[in-house]
A and B are shown apart, each in its own frame.
Chain A
Amino acid sequence: MADAFEAVIVGMGPAGMAAAIELCRRGAHVAVVDENPQPGGQVYRRFAQEFTAEDETSLGVNYAKGKKLIEEFWKVGKQCVVLNDTHVWGGFADNQLALRHADKIALIKYKKLLLAEGASERPSVFPGWTLPGVMTLGGLQKLVSREFLLPGKRFLIAGASPLLIPVAAEVLKAGGEVAGICTVVPLGRYLNLFPKLVFQREILFEAIRHAFEIVRRNAPVFSGYTVVSCAGEKRIRKAGIAKLDANGRIAGGSMRTFEIDILAASNGIITMSRLGRQLGCRHEYDSEGLCWQVKTAPFFRSSQADIYAAGDSHVIGGRDLAEWNGRMAGLEIAKDLGRIPADEFNRRLSDNAGRRERLRRYVSTLQRVLSPGANQIGRQDLNTIVCRCEQVTLGDVLSGIEKGCRTMHEIKRTRVGMGLCQGRVCESIVTEIILGKGIPIEEIGYFGIRQPIAPIPIALLERYAAQDARESA
């Protein structure tokens, strides 16, 4: 029989942990599931448990904030069942979730489900982006600041992302050489952030520290530039950046080339809502953040009964908003479970409302400022790979659209999104390409997601079937 919980929370980042804390405080029987070995999510990722830090202040704001929340989670969350290293591979009828932990499959049941899967990065796509040595900004950040590994000597840091400046600064601090910081965003646009940053002192100080590091080390910044090529035999050795016009033509004299061994690039942070989609929650497109969000009303309740959403898999807002919303989602679930009266929930809703609203406005300005702009990919070379699993090129996708594909479902006929990553990487790129053809987003839709939402080994299904047969015998 499947273990049953009052609430199951998918994701142990700030939103998931905060919700678990509030629910456990109210005595609810809770399980928290996460693919990672430790709580923290992406933003509060720890280093491996076997290590300790001599000087924790050198690890930055995220480390300190994360430590506080994780400690609270372990203290209050003692009553909750922590399922780490565990993948959810499907939601099934009767409020059941199928899990995979190490080499086992299990089913659990929920009364209420909170989706707090977090965010992923929107890849930056250019010729050669699938070469070894090219990685996402978040990937490089994880290596440098949490694994303490510098994967190369000379770096090019590129893209339009809130991670751009922090990653460049962290690489410099770790002793890497930054050949260039390249962003398609014009430098002047960053100025729009300052009026909003005045209220976000913590973020402002972080930004100043990073900027100081970059100026001190004299790392060149190329703003208005796009990565247009990378080359190398078995791994990246060279990259070229240039200013592009709307048709993808290189503006005269703007081409710059670098000899580098690591290129980190991504174009922003987008929601990751695979389980929510599979379970049929209604989504709407956020044209600022360029991603789909679970539609919730009035607060964190999705269109599907018993399913809630919070954190960056709901609305991209960063660590603090995720934590706040996670707490409120936890309280709303506690209210719906009858564990707290409705007026307590309503009272808590107005806590910090002003600060929260200012932060929300800052995030939305940040998204506008850092927006890479429409159809970046459409300006790249036609032979650029779009779907790396199935090696589908930009040209293939465009010819699919020419043949009449208008939706994400139909474009799969070109084989995009059909590979082992199940479309995780290429979805936002393909959406951008179709949008660039003037087809409305409502018609384009998203990749439909069915179980299994993560590849499931047949050998594990065999083991489960054998155990199931023994138990029913």
Chain B
Amino acid sequence: MGKNAADVIVIGGGIVGSSIALRLCESGQSVILLEKGRIGEEASGRSGGGVRQQNRHPAELPLAMEAIKIWAAMKDELDCDVGYRRYGNINYAHSPEKLESYRKTAEREKSIGLDVEILSPEETRYITPFLSDKIPLFGAKYCPSDGTANPLVVPKAIGRAARRKGTEIRENTPVLKLICDRNRVTAAVTEKETYSGNTFINCTGPWARGLCNTIGIDFPIVIKKESVFVTEAIPPIVRPFVDSDWFWFRQALEGNIHIAGEPTKRPVDDFDKSVDFKSFVEVGRWLPGVVPYARKLNILRAFTGLIIAAGFSGHGFCLGPVIGKIVCEMVTAGKSALDISQFRYSRFEEGQSSKEEAIRVN
């Protein structure tokens, strides 16, 4: 095969694209990965870092549970500590109704083998003692096998592994358009070259819609942004990823606390990474009321993550590794062992995509 030809051309080097390239190479395919910048620098690198199974859409849960198996083996597989720790995921119920709905979800999840439990308010406060006692708390849903990983490290480590297995990674190589011949994509065009292959995989996240448009396909993507605030490093005060209806936070292994509040999520029409003044003030509005200890801390950094609805809706970081496996099976065997029928493209035309599928489920 020529210099710019491979069995599969993967476009986009985030966690999803890198994982797909890795698995394809392992199954003996030749792969070229085209990345517009550097591996793992966009949405993947700016993720909240949660690796969670609980409270997912029913169609997504088996994928997440499969993903966890890959995450658990990742340190050995990639020969790199990606900061993955199973410190649990705890989800507050601030109302009796919420607790009731958590109970139902927990039963459904338990029935397919997920280890979740409903905690009493006392148990919840025992695990997260920093929570203000002024916040109404009726209990929490807790999944001990959930966890977090370091978004700065993971995509790059997977990219390195893909390269070791033979993926040709071309960085700083944006794909401008795809070329179609009789209903098949035949080439990806960059500024200087044209790449040909049997299969093309679009893993460009927020840019996916634009790339699909070049071959006349409309892929209805909505982008939201979520500002994440990072404090200075402090001694360990919280192990699990703490989630609620309207905020989340977690303590990174290095000690910094990452914080995001739902109100900072706003639709954006571009991929603006800046954090506006209002978002800072919003942190001041809610955080000290929820965690009084925060009054002693400083915000050291802030960044904006992208939540790409109809991409992975903010779930791509956790699911990325298993998507590699699924897509690899689709390419090599024609279908995946896991059921992904609910994520078919035609769901948009059928109008079946429920709200939960588009945005984060809680």
Using CB atoms and an 8 Å cutoff, list the residues of chain A in contact with chain B: 90, 92-93, 96, 98, 107, 390, 403-404, 406-407, 409-410, 412-413, 415, 418-420, 422, 450-452, 455-465, 468-469
B280: which of A410, A419, A420, A461 is its contact (CB, 8 Å)? A461
Q: Can you give 11 A-B contacts (C-beta < 8 A)?
A: A93-B276, A98-B280, A413-B152, A420-B298, A450-B274, A450-B301, A450-B303, A451-B302, A458-B288, A460-B284, A461-B280
Query: Is B117's beta carbon under 8 Å from chain A?
Result: no
A415: which of B254, B285, B299, B302 is its contact (CB, 8 Å)? B254
Cα distance A456–B273 when bound, in Å?
19
A98: which of B274, B277, B282, B296 is its contact (CB, 8 Å)? B277
B277 A456 Cβ-Cβ under 8 A:
no
Beta-carbon contacts of B140-155 to A below 8 Å, as 1s and 0s? 0000000000001100
B299: which of A403, A409, A455, A469 is its contact (CB, 8 Å)? A455
B153 A462 Cβ-Cβ under 8 A:
no
Contact partners of B303 in chain A: CB under 8 A: 450
Cα distance A1–B259 when bound, in Å?
28
A462 B302 Cβ-Cβ under 8 A:
no
Q: Report the nearest A residue to B274, measured CB to CB.
A: A450
Cα distance A351–B42 when bound, in Å?
49
Per the 8 Å Cβ criterion, residues 62-102 of B in contact with A are none
Query: Is B360's beta carbon under 8 Å from chain A?
Result: no
B38 A407 Cβ-Cβ under 8 A:
yes
Contact partners of A406 in chain B: CB under 8 A: 38
A413: which of B153, B233, B295 is its contact (CB, 8 Å)? B153
Per the 8 Å Cβ criterion, residues 257-311 of B in contact with A are 273-277, 280-285, 287-288, 294-303
Contact partners of B160 in chain A: CB under 8 A: 403-404
With A92-B277, A420-B232 as contacts: A457 and B282 at CB distance below 8 Å? no
Using CB atoms and an 8 Å cutoff, list the residues of chain B in contact with chain A: 38, 41, 152-153, 156, 160, 231-233, 254, 256, 273-277, 280-285, 287-288, 294-303
Cα distance A410–B40 when bound, in Å?
10
B287 A458 Cβ-Cβ under 8 A:
yes
In whole Å, how far is B348's beta carbon from the nearest beta carbon of chain A? 34
10 further A-B contacts with Cβ under 8 Å, apart from A90-B280, A96-B277, A451-B277, are A92-B276, A92-B277, A98-B280, A406-B38, A413-B152, A450-B275, A452-B300, A456-B298, A458-B297, A458-B299
B298 A455 Cβ-Cβ under 8 A:
yes
Q: Report the nearest A residue to B45, measured CB to CB.
A: A409
With A420-B232, A464-B281 as contacts: A412 and B152 at CB distance below 8 Å? yes
In whole Å, how far is A1's beta carbon from the nearest beta carbon of chain B? 13
Contact partners of A463 in chain B: CB under 8 A: 284
Q: Report the nearest A residue to B152, measured CB to CB.
A: A413
In whole Å, how far is B182's beta carbon from the nearest beta carbon of chain A? 40
Cα distance A394–B231 when bound, in Å?
25
Contact partners of B156 in chain A: CB under 8 A: 403-404, 410, 413
Cα distance A190–B127 when bound, in Å?
65
Contact partners of B299 in chain A: CB under 8 A: 452, 455-458, 461
B275 A458 Cβ-Cβ under 8 A:
no
For the residues of B in contact with A, the DSSP-based class is mixed
Q: Report the nearest B residue to A93, measured CB to CB.
A: B276
A458 B294 Cβ-Cβ under 8 A:
yes
A390 B300 Cβ-Cβ under 8 A:
no
Contact partners of B231 in chain A: CB under 8 A: 458
Q: Report the nearest A residue to B230, measured CB to CB.
A: A418
A459 B288 Cβ-Cβ under 8 A:
yes
B281 A465 Cβ-Cβ under 8 A:
yes
B38 A455 Cβ-Cβ under 8 A:
no
A451 B298 Cβ-Cβ under 8 A:
no
Cα distance A155–B295 when bound, in Å?
42
Cα distance A462–B274 when bound, in Å?
21
Q: Report the nearest A residue to B171, measured CB to CB.
A: A406
Contact partners of A419 in chain B: CB under 8 A: 232-233
Cα distance A458–B232 when bound, in Å?
11
B284: which of A98, A413, A451, A465 is its contact (CB, 8 Å)? A465
With A403-B160, A462-B288 as contacts: A456 and B280 at CB distance below 8 Å? yes
Contact partners of B294 in chain A: CB under 8 A: 458
Contact partners of A96 in chain B: CB under 8 A: 277
Contact partners of A415 in chain B: CB under 8 A: 254
In whole Å, how far is B49's beta carbon from the nearest beta carbon of chain A? 14
Q: Report the nearest A residue to B289, measured CB to CB.
A: A462
Q: Report the nearest A residue to B285, measured CB to CB.
A: A465
Q: Report the nearest A residue to B254, measured CB to CB.
A: A415
In whole Å, how far is B22's beta carbon from the nearest beta carbon of chain A? 15
A452 B280 Cβ-Cβ under 8 A:
yes
Contact partners of A422 in chain B: CB under 8 A: 300-301
B232 A390 Cβ-Cβ under 8 A:
no
Cα distance A96–B300 when bound, in Å?
20
In whole Å, how far is A418's beta carbon from the nearest beta carbon of chain B? 7
A457 B274 Cβ-Cβ under 8 A:
no
In whole Å, how far is A125's beta carbon from the nearest beta carbon of chain B? 22
Q: Report the nearest A residue to B157, measured CB to CB.
A: A403
Cα distance A464–B285 when bound, in Å?
9
Contact partners of A460 in chain B: CB under 8 A: 284
In whole Å, how far is B46's beta carbon from the nearest beta carbon of chain A? 11
Q: Report the nearest A residue to B291, measured CB to CB.
A: A458
In whole Å, how far is A129's beta carbon from the nearest beta carbon of chain B? 21
In whole Å, how far is A258's beta carbon from the nearest beta carbon of chain B? 35
Q: Report the nearest A residue to B172, measured CB to CB.
A: A443
A418 B302 Cβ-Cβ under 8 A:
no
In whole Å, how far is B75's beta carbon from the nearest beta carbon of chain A? 15
Q: Report the nearest B residue to A406, measured CB to CB.
A: B38
With A107-B277, A450-B275, A452-B302 as contacts: A462 and B233 at CB distance below 8 Å? no
A451: which of B152, B275, B295 is its contact (CB, 8 Å)? B275
